[in-house]
Amino acid sequence: MSDFKYKFKFLCVLLISSHFASAQNSKSLTLAGCVEMAKKNYPVVKQYSLIEKSNGYLVANAKKGYLPQFNISGQATYQSDVTEIPINLPGLNIPTMSKDQFRIYGEVSQSVTDLFTIKDQKSSLNNASDIEAKKTEVELYKLNDRINNLYFGILLIDAQLKQNQLIQSDIQRGIEKVNVAIANGVALKSSADNLQAELLKAQQHSIELESTRKGYADMLALFIGNPVDENTVLETPQILVLSDSINRPELKIFDLQYKSYEIQKKLVADKNYPRISLFFQGGLGKPGLDILNTKVADYYMGGVRLSWNFAGLYTYRNERRIVDLNKKATDIQRETFMFNTNLTLKQQNSEVQKMLRLIETDKSIIALREKVKLTVQNQLSYGTATTNDYLKAVNDEDQAKQNKILHEVQLLMSEYNTQIALGIEN
C-alpha cells in the first residue's frame, strides 16, 4: 500500500512539473506588442539618431554666425611712382613716400545683420531635420501592414488547425459508429477503411498547416527580433470602434513642407538685406596711417562697414514665385494622397460590411450542416447510411466552419487595415 502511495505522489509531482514546464515554454503575443517590437528591431529606426546628430552639428555651425570673425591679411608691394609734394621751402624737409611698402594686419568683425537672420537659418535646418525624421516614421509605419498580414495569417492557420482537430474527431466518431455496424453485420469492413483513409488525409492537412504556420512564425520572429514557435499563442485582437479622422504621418510631412516654404521666403529676403558689421583692425605697416612717415609703424582703426549687393533684387520676385509654385505642387500631392486614402477607406468599409453579412449567413449554414451530420452519424450505426454519405456531411460542415473562420479573420483584418489607413496605431 505504501508503495502505491509513493508511486501516486511521484506521478502527481511529475504532472505538476510538466505543467509548469509547458507554461514556461509557451508565451503569448499581441498585435500591438508585435508592431512595437518590430519598429524597435527594424534597421531604419537607427536613422533617428543619425538625423538628430546631423541636425545638431548643422545648427551648431549656424550658431557660429553669432561669433565675431577673425581675419589676418598682409601684402608687400613695390610701385613705380609715389605721391610727392612739389614744394621746396627753406628749412623744411618734406619726406617722400617709399616705393617699397608693406602692410600686415589683423581684423575682428561682428556682423550686425546676421544677428537677425541666423534664426531663420536655424529654423530651416530644424524643419528639414523634422521632415527627414517624419519620412523615417512613414517607413516604420509601413510595418503595420506587414505585421498585420503575418499576424492574422497565423491566427487563421491556428483556427484552421483547431477545426482540423474537430473534423478528425468527427471522423473518429464515424469510425466507431461503423465498427458497431460491422459488429452487427450491417456494414462492410471497407466502410471503416474508407473513413480511416479520410482520417489520414485530415492528418496530412494538419501537417501542411503546421508547416505553413512555421513559415509565417519564422518571418514574424525575424521582424520582432524574438522567437515565435508552435507554443507561442497569438491573442485575437479586439473588434475596433473606428473613427473618421485621418491622422497619417504623411500629413505631418506635408505640414512641415508648408512651413519650410514660409521659411524659404524669409531666407530669400534675408540674403538681400544690406550687410552691416562692426570691425576693429590693427597692424603694422610701412607706411602706417601717416603716409608721410617712411618708417615702419603700428596702427589701429575701428568702425562700421556697410555693403549691399543689389544683384539679388533682380531675381527676388522669381525666387518667391518658385517657392509659391513648390507650395502648389505640395497641395496637389496632399490632395492626391487624401483621395487615395479615402478610396482605400471606402473599400475597407465595404469589405467590413460584406464580412459582417457573410458571418451571419455562415452561422445559419453551420447549424443546418451540423444537423445533417448528426443525423447521418446516427444512421451509420444501423447501416442506413454509407461512409460516403457521412464523409460528405462532415466535409460540408467543415467547409461551412472554415468559411466562417476565414470571414471572421478577414473581418478583423479589414478593421485593422482601416485603422492603418486612418493613421491610428495598433
User: 1 pLDDT exceeds 60?
Assistant: no
Could you report the per-residue pLDDT of 315-341, keeping only the tens digit for each?
Answer: 889 999 999 999 999 999 999 999 999
In this predicted structure, what is the pLDDT of residue 80? 84
User: 19 pLDDT exceeds 60?
Assistant: no
Higher-confidence position of 238 and 206: 206
User: 22 pLDDT exceeds 50?
Assistant: no
What percentage of the chain reaches a pLDDT higher than 70? 91
Could you report the per-residue pLDDT of 43-96, keeping only the tens digit for each?
Answer: 888 888 888 888 888 888 887 777 888 999 999 988 888 777 777 767 667 777
Could you report the per-residue pLDDT of 99-135, keeping only the tens digit for each?
Answer: 788 889 999 998 888 888 888 899 999 999 999 999 9
In this predicted structure, what is the pLDDT of residue 426? 58
pTM given for the model: 0.76
Could you report the per-residue pLDDT of 24-52, keeping only the tens digit for each?
Answer: 445 889 999 999 999 899 988 888 888 88
User: 18 pLDDT exceeds 50?
Assistant: no
Domain 27-80+113-275+313-422 has CATH 1.20.1600.10: yes
Is the distance from CB of 204 to CB of 211 less than 8 angstroms?
no
